[in-house]
Chain A
């Protein structure tokens, strides 16, 4: 029908009509190669990297973190990747190494400091655990950098996920800033009464319920009308739905996913062989 329908049509598309059949639908694209991968590809990529880091030791972790950094850089997200990585995962990793070194009992004493004794066993355990945390953490942060939520939800729809499931995800993301805003208004009123800075813990605790209670009750009260509004807009109507946008799942994506699965099989194989030896 249209010029855009080049790739072979998928036969099973859940309950959504094929958006590629109409020139009135637009592709959701960012213009960056990594970020424009199909969300399923991005998920399997991050999942594969995380699993690799879990299965192997510190050396492999360094490789995984490097790959994540390079991919983030290719996605134009090197700086946010590094910021988030150092502020959260890296700090936790260092803490784990330190705590394990000092608290895991062992026979090989490295050194003593104040009340604490560092052991070689603890250090070894710490490095093992921390490398797992760093590897998985880096993969998760990579995913945060490259996965776009709109594209994810659209892809889920295209793969036949129930509209109710995708509704929950999108609505959750949308509602949080609104609630924050409503909360800010209530908080300002509390602040003007000096509650926030009151030194008495009981006073501050008592401020909590009247602040959040009405917010919750009002929101629950609106649920009925919202449900009926959605029903009126045909949310529960049966039959095919239309998408005005779509996310590409190019042959390239499919090849990449096959590659990731093959690599994972090989990696797990190597791991098993290493365990047996």
Chain B
């Protein structure tokens, strides 16, 4: 079943010159890990905001088309009610702390309290999420005293705990070091394993290639290419939109230039090595 469906979505921000999203048609299956890539200003964030209903409910502006979550048109739902179905994680860890909690524990409980979940259940779910996100060690710490990477894991955990079916995540790792990036991705993967639909905007193509079921390439407000990571990264559109390819694919293409053809499109460096050492490669001449 489709979890997220956008039909003919065209959108213009108030005061902006032309549409930022143009004729977007996109269906994301339940449980799918869908990544959105594209150059700066392509409309990735705006697309995410449309899925969450922030566009047009918060940003106003001219909106055409429909967005459906689990088949329901969200145009009729209030911005507060959509919180039960769609979670949203942002880039900046600092602004994602609620600002009114004294501990990580309370920060995780905040969303559930707003939704009126019974106290005993809140405590149980907070304990579970602290464990899952690997943040048990700082359960009593002030969220503002944590490092950026720790804060981002708290922000993600505070969203995931609400158990929405769809999680939209916009460049969660752009301000993080490699270790924190891996931690965040591990948590996102865990959420997907719980059967939740992931919509992720990410510039780190190695991670996109490794985790995604499907990749959407955005450019100038339109979907330029869509398909499996292997399809999209080998699509000429990717290069023309200035996408840095994942290392493995880049290497494979260079090797091809030197006459070494690699079968398929290895999405990770180990896969590339595997493909090469598997003896199934052909050296010309």
- Chains A and B touch (C-beta atoms under 8 A apart): yes
- B113 located at the interface, meaning its Cβ lies under 8 Å from any Cβ of chain A in the complex: yes
**Contact pattern, B 138-167, Cβ under 8 Å of A = 1, otherwise 0:** 000000100000000001001100100000
- Known A-B contacts A171-B99, A236-B79; the reply to A228 vs B118 at CB < 8 A is no
Judge whether B111 and A234 touch: CB under 8 Å: yes
- Our pick among A178, A228, A238 for the contact of B90 (Cβ within 8 Å) is A228
- B143 CB → nearest A CB, Å: 10
A244 contacts which of B100, B115, B122, B159 (Cβ < 8 Å)?
B122
- Given contacts A232-B83, A236-B80, are A17 and B116 in contact (CB under 8 A)? yes
Question: Contact partner of A226 among B54, B95, B112, B113, CB < 8 A?
Answer: B95
Smallest Cβ distance from B163 to chain A, in angstroms? 12
Q: B113 contacts which of A22, A238, A242 (Cβ < 8 Å)?
A: A242
Q: Count of chain B residues with Cβ under 8 Å from any Cβ of A?
A: 43
B112's nearest neighbour on chain A, judged by CB, is A242
Task: Say whether A66 faces chain B, with CB atoms less than 8 Å apart.
Answer: no
Q: Is B110 an interface residue (CB 8 A)?
A: yes
Given contacts A24-B119, A242-B116, A242-B118, are A229 and B80 in contact (CB under 8 A)?
A: no
Assess whether A241 is in contact with B116, with CB atoms less than 8 Å apart. yes
B119 touching A242, Cβ below 8 Å: yes
Nearest Cβ in chain B — how far from A245, in angstroms? Answer: 9
CA distance A228 to B122 in the complex (A): 22
Of B95, B112, B144, the contact of A229 (CB 8 Å cutoff): B95
Structural contact, B114 and A238, CB atoms closer than 8 A: no
Asked if A235 contacts B90 (CB within 8 A), the reply is: no
Give residues 190-240 of A contacting B (CB, 8 Å): 222, 225-240
Q: Which A residues are in CB contact (< 8 Å) with B196?
A: none
Give the B-binding residues of A (Cβ under 8 A): 17, 19, 22-25, 163, 167, 170-171, 174-175, 178, 222, 225-244
What are 27 A-B interface contacts by the 8 Å CB criterion?
A: A17-B118, A24-B118, A24-B122, A163-B114, A167-B100, A171-B100, A174-B100, A174-B102, A222-B92, A225-B92, A225-B95, A225-B96, A226-B95, A226-B99, A229-B95, A229-B96, A231-B58, A233-B110, A236-B78, A236-B79, A237-B80, A237-B115, A237-B116, A242-B112, A242-B117, A244-B106, A244-B123
